[in-house]
Amino acid sequence: MLGIKLPETIVQKYKSQIYPEWEIRNGKLYRHWKFPNFIEAKKFVDKISELAETESHHPDITFSFGYVDVVLYTHKASGLCEEDFILAAKIDEIS
């Protein structure tokens, strides 16, 4: 079901298969990480950036001193798609 907006029942099923720190906010996947400083936060953003390029799926990332926020959402589908959950799981692996 790549690129196709998932029905809510499937969203909840996939949500249960990723780390519980991921939240659904306004129909998007959201997660917050804390880091001891800016450099460590940036290193994590760099890892996510490399992964996103490999996956050809790009999250919205916000970071500053001590934190990184990631939002996943498929703009073309106007909602959550399978690839959002795949990328969330892969980000969990590198975190």
pLDDT higher than 70, residue 81 = yes
Here the tokens at position 7 are 């029905």
Contacts of 6 (CB under 8 A, 6+ apart): 14, 79, 80, 81, 82
pLDDT of res. 1: 54
- Give the mean pLDDT of 66-81: 95
- Give the mean pLDDT of 62-84: 95
Contacts of 4 (CB under 8 A, 6+ apart): 77, 81, 82
The CATH T-level fold of domain 8-94 is Gyrase A; domain 2 (3.30.1360)
Here the tokens at position 63 are 């970071």
Confidence of residue 3 (pLDDT cuts 50, 70, 90): confident
Distance from C-alpha of 1 to C-alpha of 44, rounded to nearest angstrom: 29
Tens digit of each residue's pLDDT (9 = 90 or more) over 12-56: 999 999 999 999 999 999 999 999 999 999 999 999 999 999 999
